Chain A
Amino acid sequence: MANITKKVSWSSRGDESGSPWEGTPLLNGSEQPSVSRQLSGGRSIFQIGRLSTVDLEDEITAEEDSRGRPKEIPHNEKLLSLKYESLDYDNIENQLFLEEERRMSFGGFRCLEISRWVVCGLIGFLTGLVACCIDIVVEEMAGLKYKVIKENIVKSTEAGGLSISLILWAVLNCAFVMVGAIMVACFEPIAGGSGIPQIKCYLNGVKIPRVVRLKTLVVKVLGVMCSVVGGLAVGKEGPMIHSGAVIAAGVSQGRSTSLKRDFKMFEYFRRDTEKRDFVSAGAAAGVSAAFGAPVGGVLFSLEEGASFWNQMLTWRIFFASMISTFTLNFFLSIYHHKPGDLSNPGLINFGRFESEIMSYNLYEIPLFIAMGALGGFLGALFNVLNYWLTIFRIRYVHRPFLQVIEAMLVAAVTVAVSFTMIYFSTDCQPLGPEHSEEYPLQLFCADGEYNSMAKIFFNTPERSVRSLFHSQPGTYNPLTLGLFTLTYFLLACWTYGLSVSAGVFIPSLLIGAAWGRLCGILLASITSSGSIWADPGKYALIGAAAQLGGIVRMTLSLTVIMVEATGNVTYGLPIMLVLMTAKIVGDYFQEGLYDIHIKLQSVPFLHWEAPGTSHWLTAREVMSSPVTCLNRIEKVGTIVDILSDTSTNHNGFPVVVKVSHNNEPAKLCGLILRSQLIVLLKHKVFVELARSRLNQRKLQLKDFRDAYPRFPPIQSIHVSQDERECMMDLTEFMNPTPYTVPLDTSLPRVFKLFRALGLRHLVVADDENRVVGLVTRKDLARYHLGKHGLEELHLAQT
């Protein structure tokens, strides 16, 4: 109700003043009281937080003073960072574009289509190759490490000095982890973690700085080798997705800005729109290489970045993922001395589940669903713990050397815990006929028997998962599995979010497989004839799916990935049900892990839908106002000043035709981007110069592409005092048909436009087509549905 009255009063005032937006500058002046009121009310919580810290008097800049109180708060999840920009998915149909299209023949378009396929093939091939490299290096180095440690342990079991073995193991692991952590923390922090949140943001349309650079790829690949070999509770599958995306972004551009090499290829693809399509193909190729799941890869791309896709693109993505799996298979077959054998897919291979032993019955479905619920609950617990840990890390552990030390400490504790568990375990079992452990530890077991705990701890996580899935019933004691689940849960939770590049897929699977197997064993023991149907391997699989689903909350793609990785379609139904239950139960408590990390990085992420109860919000409330506009023919000095203003880091400027000389907003005739203006300034496209030099080459779209994606900052462009007086004609370069909405458009409508069209700027115009406001991604992303209804996030400098 209040809603309506407010609106009425607004419009009535507009009627009174004759022109509704005459008051725009007035609004600026009257901002002061509203800010202070806001501070005394809504921000009281933050003030408390601020008082508790030591040094808050510093760094009150002049700018903040002018606005009233210093506004510094500890990092939390309810912030939007200023450092993230949108990608330009909207095609700028300016005159240059039209000219180029006119020039391009029909054959040219066919060529483009073909080169898209070529690029996708290359992406698949290179992604597969990188995956293969990671796999081989990890296998070799981990093998070497375990061999050395095993020899030492065997020696000191007899002769004494097991604590020395423990220290040796810890030192080796710490050394590897240190290398990985230094690379990530000091050279490329964005390469930390699994990279899936970053790629998710990129596909959503947020430009994460440096996320698809070559350097990131190198650090990512080397980092993941180090962290897996370093024995952390991590997997190498998540980073593959990021690697695939970087490869895609690099290959599709036909050049590397880092290496300063331009192959003069694929120049047409040097735009955000095209690049995004290839990045989604790269992410798919990464998934497909990681799990041997081409279809799962395509679905992952669609699930995470699905707002922009069509049938042809999907088909190309599928092509890239297939090529990637094929390449990986081929090179791994050579590595395993079986060249040409293509049946060895994926970095993680769950192994074949034989359908006779692993058949399931109708009455087991409720059990599976219960396990799904448990997985959802445990996943939520994992996420909550990790959430608090991540907040602590962002606030206190933000210096690179602290991050390196933290990673090393985690590695050391992981070793200490594993070793102690192995040392005190009395669960001894003989090796199975086809055991996957290359380095079984005997320790204090009877001769011919081996320590069960060491089978899962003294091994790479991938092998442990496989062992839990496929070992014969009776390989593991319930006590071993229970202890393992508990410790590994805590270790994995502690590890995720360290500044090493590592994924969370495999640890989740491992935790799930352990308690799933435990469930299987317990079920078999409570029913006297149960040993027939309750095969522990089957329950390990279900538990793994439940735990993974509970942590990452992916649905469709995860189901398909699991089905493909096990190579057994019969498990489609139980896995789907389990993932569904896990998601429902988990969402009741906490969001998915990736969403939490996106939020904690203060990314303006647009979800599928606008928050539910936001129809009463209109563009009038959402938009930023007043807007910095440019005239169609603008003085160079003005442009330079606007661009150099550090306090307003705008990227898009509505171009207007001035009606009169007062402050009244002018009529909209186009939109121009900061990047375009910078290119224009760099090439000195001034009206006066054009008159004097008639034969000057006309600026083409190619000039804009060449500068993409790293446009120089305005500071690096020198404009002389004389040139400042020149004029610039923007007519040719601006986007003459920007999207606009009327003032009363509701938030969900605006949201839909943004999400479906991939917009970056949306001009809000009044009934006479005069610019009154501008909606950007950050204006929309700040509304979200919290515990107490609709909440607003704050913009912050990070």
Chain B
Amino acid sequence: MSSHSIFVFFVLLVINIHAFVASDGLNVTALDSSGKLTQVSVLVNSPSVFKPIVDSVYPLSLLSSFPEDVEISEYCSDLLLVLGQRYVAYMSCLIPAARPVKVCQKCYSGYSSLVQIYQNISSDQMGPGNVSCRDSLLHSDRLMLVYLLYSNVENIWDNSNCAQCLSKDFQSQTNDTLFFLNVLNQTLSCFEKYKQRNLTELCKNCKKSYKDLNDLYSLKELNHTLCIDLEDAMNMTRRLWSKNFNCFLPREETVPVIAVFSFMLFLPIVFYLSSFLHSEQKKRKLIHPNRAKSYTGLMNIQDKQS
């Protein structure tokens, strides 16, 4: 399919060269065999740029055989190269930081440089040689690989909420975050300290710092200043506290609760019994309708049916 349409393209290109030798730019509209309209814009600076000989030298390797006008400019390919490097750098930072999650703390600089280069690519403004790389790099084919890769990164970034922990320009972590990490570390070091000894002692001694941490966390939760790093660290700490060290709150109020419960259950029983015994039962006075003789009443119906 693709080779076929490329073939058609070249045929038309040759025809067009013969037809419009003098013209500077031309739009070629080629209708391929499947009826699909393929529009190709060709930027032609001058007819002399064409090197038809290239076709005969590399007849099989079509990829490298595009004339420069169709190919992306050098500037753009440079940008693409840089993007690739930064992308790889960011990825190789992300993956080791996946568990325990430290993607915000460790990789924010990688992300910001990646964003910067992508913004360069996707910006409207022209680079040297008056070329914009946006169209040629981002959406000139069906796959739109660059865009796809970048939107993946964006997605990861959005889900991780990293922006909440970083300064506006993604250059550093906020003081808030650092303070939280500090408190967290204190708690963890307290855990370390008492871990070898009795666990009940740990529960008692680290309770204050753990509680401070918890309070700080819920405050941050309200302010929406949490990113995945902090959430995950907090989750791990909580799990340590509750599951590993078994620092549960004791369920010691069972008796009063049951007492109140049974008292409240007891009330309706008293209520219903007393209203049954003391309340006057509601009576209905029956009325006898005027009916024609001997057709009143249940008796008659049953008589007649039998």
Contacts and interface: CB of A to CB of B under 8 A. Distances in A.
B296 A796 contact: no
Given A397-B275, A420-B258, A163 B253 contact: yes
A24 to B, nearest CB: 8
A179 B241 CA distance: 45
Given A73-B286, A448-B239, A620-B292, 20 more contacts: A74-B281, A74-B283, A74-B284, A75-B282, A160-B252, A162-B253, A166-B257, A397-B275, A416-B261, A423-B251, A444-B249, A446-B239, A447-B238, A448-B242, A621-B291, A624-B290, A624-B291, A788-B302, A794-B286, A795-B287
Contact of A623 (B258, B267, B292): B292
8 contacts: A55-B280, A162-B253, A412-B264, A444-B249, A444-B251, A788-B302, A789-B301, A795-B287
Interface string A71-97: 111110001001000000000000000
A30 B305 CA distance: 24
B253 A160 contact: yes
A791 interface: yes
A682 interface: no
Contact of B297 (A34, A405, A415): A34
B39 interface: no
B183 to A, nearest CB: 15
B288 A402 contact: no
Contact of A72 (B257, B283, B293, B296): B283
B256 A162 contact: yes
Interface string B262-300: 001101100110011001111111111111111111110
B300 to A, nearest CB: 8
Contacts of B63: none
B248 A446 contact: yes
B296 A27 contact: no
A773 B292 contact: yes
Contacts of A423: 251, 254, 257
Contacts of B195: none
B286 A409 contact: no
A625 B295 CA distance: 11
A166 B286 contact: no
B162 to A, nearest CB: 17
Contact of A416 (B260, B287, B302): B260
A398 interface: yes
B259 interface: yes
A27 B264 CA distance: 60
Nearest to B262: A416
B285 A72 contact: yes
B286 A626 contact: no
**Band of interface residues on B:** 35 or more
A448 B235 contact: yes
B177 to A, nearest CB: 20
Contacts of A163: 253, 256-257, 259-260
B19 to A, nearest CB: 54
Interface in B177-225: 214
Contact of B241 (A447, A616, A791): A447
Interface stretch (A37-45, A207-215, A524-532): A37-45
Given A37-B299, A446-B242, A446-B248, A73 B275 contact: no
Contact of A31 (B258, B285, B293): B293
Given A396-B275, A409-B271, A448-B239, A796 B287 contact: yes
Nearest to A73: B284
Contacts of B235: 448
Interface of B: 214, 234-235, 238-239, 241-243, 248-249, 251-254, 256-261, 264-265, 267-268, 271-272, 275-276, 279-299, 301-306
A402 B281 CA distance: 13
A79 to B, nearest CB: 6
Contacts of B301: 789-792
B304 A616 contact: yes
A420 B261 CA distance: 7
A258 interface: no
A607 interface: no
Nearest to A446: B242
B267 A166 contact: no
A6 interface: yes
A70 B280 CA distance: 18
B293 A30 contact: yes
A37 B299 CA distance: 9
Given A396-B275, A412-B264, A625 B291 contact: yes
A412 B293 contact: no
A98 interface: no
Interface string A166-207: 110010000000000000000000000000000000000000
Contact of A409 (B249, B268, B276): B268
A413 interface: yes
A683 interface: no
B17 to A, nearest CB: 53
B298 A399 contact: no
Nearest to A80: B287
B299 A38 contact: yes
Nearest to B210: A447
Q: Which of B238, B248, B272 has the most CB of A within 10 A?
A: B272
A419 interface: yes
A28 interface: yes
B302 A72 contact: no
Interface in A618-638: 620-621, 623-626
B239 A38 contact: no
A416 B264 contact: yes
Nearest to B290: A624
A447 B290 CA distance: 76
Contacts of B283: 53, 56, 72-75
A158 B283 CA distance: 55
